[in-house]
Amino acid sequence: MRVNHHALELEQNYLFSEVAKRIRTFQANNPEKALLKLSIGDVTRPLAKIITDEMKAAAEDMSHAETFHGYGAEQGEPFLREAIAGYYTKRGIRVAPEDVFVSDGAKCDLGNLCDLFDADNTVLLPNPVYPVYYDTSIMAGRRVIFANGTKENSFLPMPDPAVQADIIYLCSPNNPTGAVYNKAQLAEWVAYAQQQHALILFDAAYESYIRDPALPHSIFEIDGAETCAVEINSLSKTAGFTGVRCGWTVVPRTLQFDGASLHSMWFRRMATKYNGTSYIIQRAAAVVFTGAGQQAVHADIDYYMENAAIIKAALNAVGIHSVGGENAPYVWMQCPGNADSWDYFDMLLNQYGIAGTPGAGFGSAGQGWLRFSAFGARETVTKASGILASL
């Protein structure tokens, strides 16, 4: 038996495990000090009642022979796929229910999509980047190249037509930087993908945090994207589903690569290796797209975005440069005095009990930066911001 040697190429310390380890050490050494956790990439608000009520009703249905559900439709229940397609239509974006595949989350889809591509593809990743794109590409044995985010490009790297790439990952609003591409910038990426005959994997997991009405929520707002892009989304951050698990991927039937339909391939892959998202969860997910559901989830999104504004204001008050936080639940700050990300992380943690996430953990271009998440409780955010404003 031989193992996949590419899996051994991964760094053994997953970023978030290392951050958690250092936080545990801080707590063990400082039992009297409060921990102000702004490193959290998970939601903290409970599910909206309208969602849990629907889960209960769906669970009740499962206990009666007439309304019981066994295996569901491979692609997801039609009522949910229609609700998701309707969510796009409301914004004037044409997505057909037939092109929507329901899953148990964006991370799984991002990893599973790798099954469709040959190992001999060049992957272009933004740097810094959500580690899953990099790790899954490395595990699959693909060559990875980077487009660097910098202070000068506001962490919105643009394509270089001279660079050859086959698979391009984009994440907007971005984790970790909170930066969001505008329509003209996404149009440039679409044009580049078309010129390269490349595929864009567009991660829209944070689209519901966009405040500026001019910013695009979906790659399919860009003409031509239906011939070169797949979009991955999730209810994790939109509706607090991190522990519930429901996401979706839009694979347009217009996508043709190497003489094959990606839609057919993805359908086949899902039918082979996935037996569907829980019926109860799909019922709960469908509620999110109703008027009342949207109102409920946006109350929590507003709460998190107020947290982001509080953090951002504290940094502004002391002249610390940051990006993000206006259309995304992450604030990406430049460590003062060109400090190293991990050194600054350790200093904030050990001196003030504030935990961020070191930017260097998201890639070399994150060196010298730190990510703050807005997903904490208001009290924690206010206390930490008070300290940051006095640094």
41 binds ligand PLP (CB under 6 A): yes
Three-class secondary structure of residue 122 per DSSP: strand
Contact between 327 and 314 under an 8 Å Cβ cutoff? The reply is: no
Question: Given the rule CB under 6 A, which of 84-92, 102-110, 288-296, 313-321 is the region that contacts ligand PLP?
Answer: 102-110
- Give strand pairing partners of 249: 101, 232
User: Contacting ligand PLP (CB under 6 A), which of 172, 175, 294, 357?
Assistant: 175
Contact between 277 and 241 under an 8 Å Cβ cutoff? The reply is: no
Report in angstroms how near the CB of residue 203 gets to ligand PLP at its nearest.
Answer: 5
112 binds ligand PLP (CB under 6 A): no
User: Contacting ligand PLP (CB under 6 A), which of 130, 332, 342, 345?
Assistant: 130
Report in angstroms how near the CB of residue 133 gets to ligand PLP at its nearest.
Answer: 9
Which H or E element spans position 132? helix 131-139
**Binders of ligand PLP in range 152-171 (CB under 6 A):** 171
Contact between 219 and 204 under an 8 Å Cβ cutoff? The reply is: yes
Question: Given the rule CB under 6 A, which of 24-32, 66-74, 99-107, 265-273 is the region that contacts ligand PLP?
Answer: 99-107
Cβ closer to ligand PLP: 108 or 387? 108
For 266-329, strand residue ranges (E) read 322-324
Q: Please list the alpha-helical segments (H only) found in 197-259.
A: 236-239
Contact between 191 and 343 under an 8 Å Cβ cutoff? The reply is: no
| Cα 63 to the center of its chain, rounded Å | 35
Binding mask 223-262 for ligand PLP (x = CB under 6 A): -----------x-x-----x----x---------------
User: Contacting ligand PLP (CB under 6 A), which of 22, 37, 81, 107?
Assistant: 107
Query: What is the C-alpha separation between 96 and 145, in angstroms, rounded?
Result: 33
User: Contacting ligand PLP (CB under 6 A), which of 38, 76, 80, 105?
Assistant: 105
**CB-CB neighbours of 318 under 10 Å:** 11
366 binds ligand PLP (CB under 6 A): no
Residues of this chain that interact with ligand PLP (CB under 6 A) are: 41, 105-107, 130, 171, 175, 203, 205, 234, 236, 242, 247
